[in-house]
Amino acid sequence: MARTQVGIVGAGPAGLLLSYLLHAEGIDAVVIEARSREYVERRVRAGVCEHPTVELLREIGVGARLDAEGLPHHGFSLRFDGEDHRIALTELTGKAITVYGQQEIVKDLIAAHEAKGYPVEFEVSDVALHDLDTEDPRVTYRDSAGNRRELVCDVVAGCDGFHGISRPSIPAGAIRTFEREYPFAWLGVLARTAPSHEELIYAYHERGFALHSMRSPEITRLYLQVPHDEKIDAWPDEEIWSELALRLETGDERFSLREGPILDKGITPMRSFVTEPMRYGRLFLAGDAAHIVPPTGAKGMNLAVADVTVLSRALVELLRYNRSGLAESYSDTCLKRVWRAEHFSWYMTSMLHVDPAADDFGRRLQLSQLRYTASSRAAATSLAENYVGLPFA
For residue 20, how many C-alpha atoms fall within 13 Å in the half-sphere facing its CB?
A: 26
- Give the sign of the dihedral formed by CA 372, CA 373, CA 376, CA 378: positive
Neighbours of 144 (CB within 10 A): 11
Note whether 125 and 34 are within 8 A (CB): yes
Note whether 285 and 166 are within 8 A (CB): yes
DSSP string, 159-184: -S-TTSSTGGGSPTTSSEEEEEEEEE
Distance CA 124, CA 109 (A): 19
Distance CA 207, CA 184 (A): 12
Q: Which residues are catalytic?
A: 73, 202, 295, 299, 387
Q: What is the DSSP letter of 295?
A: G
Question: Could you tell me whether strands 279-280 and 83-87 are parallel, antiparallel, or unpaired per DSSP bridges?
Answer: unpaired
For residue 64, how many C-alpha atoms fall within 13 Å in the half-sphere facing its CB?
A: 7
